[in-house]
Amino acid sequence: MKHILKIMALLVAVAGIWISLLETSVVPRSYTWLLPVYLVVSLGCYGLLMVGVGLMLFPTCPQEASLLQKDIIEAKEFLKSKGVDVGAV
């Protein structure tokens, strides 16, 4: 099944639940009307939260940059001795 269909099926299911809530009025209607708004807002909050958390915990590796510099020097020395052109770019 195409992925978009899965997502649409999910949306239809959610809409179905919402309509049945409206029809059966288990919850007062005025509340039920607002549920989709809450859903959208909470989705947005979830997204922002995930981006925020991801940004705070973003893994960085400054030590790798200095290790790489060492490797570059080592590589250049070896390659130069073998006659490979590793001069300025």
Angle between helices 3-24 and 29-56 (to 10 degrees): 140
Stretch that binds another protein, among 1-9, 12-20, 24-32, 33-41 (CB under 8 A): 1-9
**CA geometry: angle at 61 spanning 58 and 67, to 5°?**
170
**66 residue type, one letter:** S
Stretch that binds another protein, among 15-23, 25-33, 34-42, 58-66 (CB under 8 A): 58-66
Coil, strand, or helix at residue 25?
coil
Which of 28, 37, 55, 70 is the binder for another protein (CB under 8 A)?
55
Which of 11, 27, 39, 50 is the binder for another protein (CB under 8 A)?
50
* Chain length of the chain: 89
Residues that bind another protein in the complex, under the rule CB under 8 A:
2-4, 7, 47, 50-51, 54-55, 58-62, 64-65, 68-69, 71-72, 75-76, 78-79, 82-86, 89
